[in-house]
Each structure stands twice: as C-alpha cells, then as structure tokens.
Amino acid sequence: MLQENQDQSNGVRELTDKVNSLEMRVGVMEQHIEVLLQGKESAQPSRYSSENGETISSPDRIIDEGLIESNIFEYGLAWFGSLVLLFGIVFLSHLARNYMSGPLSSMVGYAAVGGVFFLAWYLRNSFTHLSFMLYLIAHLLLYYITLQLFFFIDQPVVPVKGIAIALLLVVIGIQCLNAIRRDSELLAAVAVILALLTAIFADTTLVSLPLIMLTAGFSMFLFIKYSWWRLMLATLIFVYISQGIWLLNNPVMGNPVGAFATHPFNLLSLFIYGTIFSIVPLVKQRGNFPDGIYPATILINGMSFSIVLLFVVASYYADSYIWIFTAIFAVCLFYSIFLKYRTSRVFDPAFYAIYSFMALSLAVYGYSKLPDALWLLALQSLLVVSWALWFRSKIIVVMNTMLFIVIIVFYVAFYPPVDKVNIAFVITSFISARVINWKKNRLTLKTEMIRNIYMIALFFIMLFTLYHLVPSQYVTLSWTGAAVFYFILSLILKLIKYRWMAIATVLVTGFYLFFVDFSHLDTGYRVLAFLFLAAISLGASLYFTKKIRRK
C-alpha cells in the first residue's frame, strides 16, 4: 500500500514537472511572438523557474527556421504569384484581341480583372497580405485594360481620345480614394505614377500639364495630411521628369526628339510645380518624418526646377528672360524673409535667399552683357553680405564668397580689363572684409578664412586695377601709394594683416621696378619711382622699429 502511494506521488510529481516545462515553453513562444509583433528584441531575456528552483533563461537571439520559411511562403510567393498573374492576364487580353472583336476582348479583360478583385475580397480576412497584393495587381490590370480602349492599338474600342482619357482618370481617382481609405502609401504611389503616365500618353498640352500639376498637388496633400514623405519625394522627381519629357516634344508617343515644345503654359506649370513643393518647409514635423526631408526636398526641388527652367528659357524665352529671373528673385527673396520669421531652421531661408540672388545675377546678365555686367554683380555681392548679416547666415556668406572669387577669376582669365569693373571689385573686397570682421560674431564665424579670402582678393585686384588704370610710367608710384594706404589702415584699425599686405605690396613694387620699369622708363620717372619707394620703405621701417622699441 505504501509502495502504491509512493508510485502515485512520483507520477503526480512527474506530471507536474511536465506541465511546468510545457508552461515554460509556451511562455518562451509567447515572448518571441510578442517580439515579432513589436518589431524589436526584448531588452532582457525572460526567465522561467522550474519546480526544483532551476532558472532557465531564454536565449538572446533565436533563429527560427520555420519562421523564415513561413515568411518566404507567405510574402515572397505572394509577390511572385501576383506578378505571374499580372502577366498572365495581360497575355490573355492580347490573345482575346487576336481572336475576338475589340469590345468583346475588352469585356474578357474586365471580366478577368473582376475575378481578381473578387478573389482579393474573398481572402481579405484569412490571407491579408495576399489579398492586398491581388488588390494592387487588380488596379494595375484595370488601368491597363482601360488604356487599351484607345492607346497602343490599331483599332480603338473607344473612338474619342477625350473619353478614353476620362475613363483613365476615373480609374486613377478610384485608386486614390482606395489608397486613402486603406491608409496605403504604396497604393497612392501607384496612383501617382499612373497619373503621370496618363499625362504623357495624353500628349495634349491642355491635358498633360494640368494633370501633372494636379498630381504634384495631390502628393503634397498626402504629405501634409499623412506625412507620406517617400511618396512626396518620388512624385517631385517624376513630376519634373514628366515635364522634361513633354518639353522634349514627348518622344514616348513617337514624336521627334529635340523639337522643343513651345507653349506659354509650360512656364506657368513649371512655376506651379516649384511653388507646390516649396510648401514643404511650412509643414510641421511632429515626429512623423525625418528632419532631413526639409533640406532634401528644397535641394531636389531647386535643382530640378533650375534644369527644367533652362530648357524652357532656351526653347521659348531666349531673348526675353530678364523678367522671368526678376520675378524669381522677388518671389524667392520674399519667401526667404517669410521663412526666416516662420521657421526656426537656418538652411531653409538661406537657400531661398541664395537662389533669389542667383536669379538676380542672371537678370543682371540679361540686362547688361559681360563684361559690363560684372561691376553690377560685384556690387550685388555687397547686398548679399548685408542680407547674410540680417539673416545671421554663415551659409549665405560662404556661398557668396565662392561665387565672388569665381567671378573674379573668370573675368581676369577671359575678358579684357574694364576700369569700372576693376574698381567695383576693389570696393567690394575691401568693404566685405571690413564688414565680416566687424560682424563676425553675428555670423558665428569661428575662423578668419572668409575674411582672409576677401583680403587676398583685395591685394591682387588692387594691383591689377592700378596697373590698368594709370599710365605705365606711374604704375610703380600707384602701387607704392597702395602700400601707404595699407600702412595707414594698419595704424588706424590696429590690424597687423594690413601691415603684411603693405609689406607684400612694397616687395611686388620693388620687383616690378627692377625687372620691368628699369628697362623702359625715362630717367626722370625712374629716379622719382626709386626715391618714392625708398622713402616709403625707410619711413615705415623707422616708424615700426621705434614703435617696437617703445613696447
């Protein structure tokens, strides 16, 4: 009897251990299911204790081969099977067209599409991903069958092109509504791409360009409403590509490439695209998309707008583009001021300010051709520096400095010297260096590099200007006068950099005097040049020697 009770006790204990072990395994499985649903690993491994006090820790990472296999079958084969079904129905429609009349073959295609829609609806609860894929494929097939009512066939089923385009727009509208209803960025992206393709297939200015504008506006609406930033960026790129295709006379539809489409509506549509995507800096982030979307959108929009605008101006406004760039200057400058007070980001208003001044430069070039326009561009550089001080923007200062140096090098290398241009460069270099030194804290400039660049430019352009401004026999005297000017500035401003510029100018003047002037100057001018240079050099040496000794 005792033995029997002991056996029953051992059996109960064994059964209890198995139940605890099973409970432990179920707990581990529940933990991994939760990790998969949340999309991240648990920070601490869960621990489960058996009856005998042993602690069992779940491993940090378990590779479930069954799960991988399940993903391949559920998702991978769903994609593959849907694509195969897509091509299968496409080939079916072609086969039906070969053996049936146009309307009957279209009915066969629509019947096949209806079957796919029904299958997607029937599997909506039990096989969610497969149902979604079938739904996507059904929309693509519906567009394709509708497209072939008029386009890309020898005998159109619908004889009127406008009716066919209207039917395509109805299909796209249904896709847009379903994308919003299902909260699916992918379905919206498909609808946007099909809308842009329809604009190209329509091959009609009054249909294509408004449809592209509506597509751009729709993507911006979805970005504002649902923060679908991937869709917005993709649409931005495809919109400008579509405009470029149309501008090249739409070779997709068999038109000759390179015959630029000339229509006043192209410029208006381009401005509307640029305006739509310029709304992005005003959209509040709220943590729904990365902060880098702001500069990325601004840069892509600016570059794409500029490239397409180049083709528009070349095709239709080659002789009357001044007002275009003047308008861009005014609008972008106003918008940069608005963004300065509307947003806390530095890059956004700075970019539009830089873009506005670049447009102003092109307008100036159109008004007064090179090299005469360069003196206006030099004075414009002062305006840009003033604007940078107001905006407290280091970006504007850096970009303006680079452009200023490029303009000087381009002018000296390729154009004959013009006195007013040379003087404008001297004035701009000097004032810019002084202003940047005066307000460097406001511009948050941590180094002297920008100011040094302007001072180096002042040193060389001063020599260049005086060389071409005065008669050849007075070049040495004028350069010596420039050295005196630098010495006086160093005393007044108490800046050693002007002293070094004066010394460098004296050395260059001496070199020029011995190796250039010495051979062709008259004796009187030669004596005067030597004495004047010697007096300045010795006087400066005595003054600074006494000053150093006093210190």
Find all residues with CB under 8 Å of 338, minimum gap 6, and list them. Answer: none
Q: Are 458 and 430 in contact (CB under 8 A)?
A: yes
Q: Which of 99, 115, 196, 110 is nearest to 145 (CA)?
A: 110
**How deeply is 127 buried, as exposed, middle or buried, from its count of CB atoms within 10 A (0-12, 13-18, 19+)?**
middle
Which residues make Cβ contacts (< 8 Å) with residue 123, sequence separation at least 6? 130, 131, 134
**Cβ-proximal residues to 142 (8 Å cutoff; 6+ apart), any chain:** 110, 113, 171
List Cα–Cα distances, 243 to 195, 197, 249, 298, 420, in angstroms. 13, 11, 10, 18, 42
List residues bridging with 56 in a β-sheet: 48
Contact between residue 391 and residue 438 where contact means Cβ atoms under 8 Å apart: no
Contact 136, 82 (CB under 8 A): yes
- What are the pLDDT tens digits along the chain (551 aa)? 444 445 555 555 665 665 566 666 656 565 555 555 554 443 444 443 443 444 444 444 444 444 444 444 455 566 666 667 667 777 777 666 667 766 787 788 888 888 888 888 888 787 777 778 888 888 888 898 888 888 877 778 888 888 989 999 999 999 999 899 888 898 999 999 999 999 999 888 888 899 999 999 999 999 999 989 999 999 999 999 998 888 888 888 777 776 555 566 788 888 999 999 999 999 887 778 888 899 999 999 999 999 989 888 877 777 778 888 999 999 999 999 999 888 888 888 889 998 998 898 888 888 777 777 788 888 888 888 888 887 777 788 888 888 888 888 888 888 888 888 888 888 988 888 888 877 766 666 656 788 888 888 888 988 898 888 888 777 877 887 888 888 888 888 878 888 888 888 877 877 777 666 555 555 555 555 555 556 655 555 555 555 555 55
Distance CA 433, CA 497 (A): 11
Q: What is the pLDDT of residue 335?
A: 93
CA neighbours closer than 13 Å in the CB half-sphere of residue 194: 26
Report the C-alpha gap between 235 and 229 in whole angstroms: 10
- DSSP code of residue 308: H
How many secondary structure helices (H) and strands (E) does the chain include?
21, 2
pLDDT at 58: 41
CA 375, CA 420: separation in Å to the nearest integer? Answer: 7
Report d(CA 425, CA 407) in Å as an integer: 10
How high is the pLDDT of residue 8? 53
Task: Count CB atoms within 10 A of the CB of residue 345.
Answer: 16
| Cβ neighbours of residue 179 closer than 8 Å, sequence gap 6 or more | 185, 187, 188, 190, 191
Tell me how far apart the alpha carbons of residues 431 and 429 are, in angstroms, rounded to a whole number.
Answer: 6
Q: How far apart are CA 326 and CA 338, in angstroms?
A: 18
Handedness of CA 53, 57, 58, 59 (dihedral sign): negative
Q: Token digits for 141?
A: 């097939």
Q: What is the pLDDT of residue 69?
A: 43
Dist CA 548 CA 551 (whole Å): 5
Alpha carbon of 210 to those of 195, 202, 205, 449: distances in Å? 11, 11, 8, 49
Degrees (nearest 5) of the Cα angle 418, 421, 422? 85
Distances, alpha carbon 50 to alpha carbons 12, 17, 24, 158, in Å: 15, 8, 8, 75
Residue 442 three-state SS: coil
DSSP output for 250-307:
-GGGTPPTT-----THHHHHHHHHHHHHTTGGGS--TTSS-TTHHHHHHHHHHHHHHH
What's the confidence (pLDDT) of residue 418? 83
Token pair recorded at residue 145: 């069958």
pLDDT of 528 reads 56
**Residue-level pLDDT at 265:** 78
**What is the structure's pLDDT at 214?**
94
Q: What pLDDT, on a 0 to 100 scale, did the predictor assign at position 73? A: 46
What pLDDT sits at residue 260?
54
From residue 145, alpha-carbon distances to 114, 139, 186, 253 in Å are: 12, 10, 21, 19
Task: Provide the pLDDT for residue 371.
Answer: 73
Long-range CB pairs of 156-160 (<8 Å, 24+ gap) are 156/102, 157/102, 157/103, 157/106
Output the CA angle 409-414-419, nearest 5 degrees. 80
Residue whose structure tokens are 């604007």: 387
**Whole-number pLDDT of residue 148:** 85
State the DSSP H helix or E strand holding residue 213, giving kind and residue range, or none if neither: helix 205-226
**In 3-state terms, what secondary structure has residue 446?**
coil
DSSP string of 117-180, one letter each residue: HHHHHHTTTT-HHHHHHHHHHHHHHHHHHHHTTTTTSSS-SS--HHHHHHHHHHHHHHHHHHHH
Which residue matches tokens 């800096």?
281
CA distance 96 to 106: 8
Report the half-sphere exposure of 323 (CA within 13 A, side-chain side).
4
What does the alpha-carbon distance between residue 490 and residue 87 come to, in Å, rounded to a whole number? 80
